[in-house]
Amino acid sequence: MVWSKDYNKAGEIAKQAREFARTLIKENVLYLEIAQKIENKIIELGGKPAFPVNICINNVAAHDTPLINDERKLKKGDLVKIDIGTHFNGCVADTAFTMEVGTNQYADLIKASEEALNEAIKIIKPGIELREIGKVIQDTIMKYGYSPIKNLSGHEVKEYIVHAGLTIPNYDNNDKHILEKDTIIAIEPFATIGEGMIKEGKLSGIYTLVNKKNIRSLEARKVLEFIDKEYKTLPFCARWLKFPNINFILRLLENDGIIKQYNQLPEKSDGIVSQAEHTIIVGKGVLT
């Protein structure tokens, strides 16, 4: 399997953006400001965002990014997950962390996903079965008295693809597939006080190009060309598209089945969720 040095570059940028992001998590700060500052940092460091910065609060596990003019602010006692994707020439790195805003009530829940991630990284080597990784994640989270989210998983990354090929389970799903050297995977344990499943929630404002085809509106065609050139199959959001009437145009593209919008993913029983994530090269180590 081939991998490029550009993955190291993407990983280094993701790591620095994550450490910068930690300094932004404070009471009364706008989600929008956090997302924009992290995305600008990625660009300043020479990379590009591989997807819009995800800011997910409390029971929402994944897929929430600020809209244009989003007015939501962090509140004291929120549990915040920040999920950051970077790419360098298409080579993707994916990393996430969880912090609470101004309180110390979720320290164990945060530790559960972090420790699960670290324990998983310790055992990953060429020849390991995917289920063994899932088992370590599950056992570690359950040791803390929480549940792993079973229908969210880690994933392989490839050029211009965030969720490629392999699925890395967060529990022992009996998958005996063997990891090969140099495969690039993101491991992302989610721990929750809830039942350990997510459901589909509200629309997220995160889109991806699914079916490039002709559209009558000239304005929509220009936007589509830009998306195809700039993001290819990587997720994007309205904040990034500096075109007039962008929300209307995105609706046209969505109605025509050209782009699709992801749903937010809240925990099924509305349990609070923590997450930790790193991207690693099997047999070589952590990129992020």
Q: Minimum distance between the CB of residue 223 and Co ion, rounded to whole angstroms?
A: 26
3-state SS, residue 254: helix
108 is catalytic: no
Question: CA-to-CA distance for 288 and 279, rounded, in angstroms?
Answer: 6
Of 78, 188, 267, 278, the active-site residue reads: 188
- State the amino acid at position 189 in one-letter form: P
Which residues of the chain form contacts with Co ion (CB under 5 A)?
A: 94, 186, 188
What's the Cα-to-Cα distance from 100 to each of 57, 65, 111, 272, rounded to whole Å?
9, 18, 12, 11
Q: Minimum distance between the CB of residue 186 and Co ion, rounded to whole angstroms?
A: 4
Q: Minimum distance between the CB of residue 243 and Co ion, rounded to whole angstroms?
A: 28
Q: Report the residue number, 99 or 186, with the smaller CB distance to Co ion.
A: 186
27 is catalytic: no
Of 83, 100, 114, 159, the active-site residue reads: 83
Q: What are phi and psi of 169, to 5 degrees?
A: -70, 155
Q: Report the residue number, 34 or 162, with the smaller CB distance to Co ion.
A: 162
CB 80 within 8 A of CB 283: no
Strand partners, 82: 55, 97
94 is catalytic: yes
Question: CA-to-CA distance for 165 and 170, rounded, in angstroms?
Answer: 16
Of 94, 100, 115, 172, the active-site residue reads: 94
Q: Report the residue number, 45 or 92, with the smaller CB distance to Co ion.
A: 92
Q: Report the residue number, 101 or 186, with the smaller CB distance to Co ion.
A: 186
Of 63, 87, 155, 278, the active-site residue reads: 155
19 is catalytic: no
163 is catalytic: yes
Q: What is the dihedral of CA 226, 229, 230, 231, to 10 degrees?
A: 110
Q: Please identify every residue annotated as catalytic.
A: 83, 94, 155, 163, 188, 277
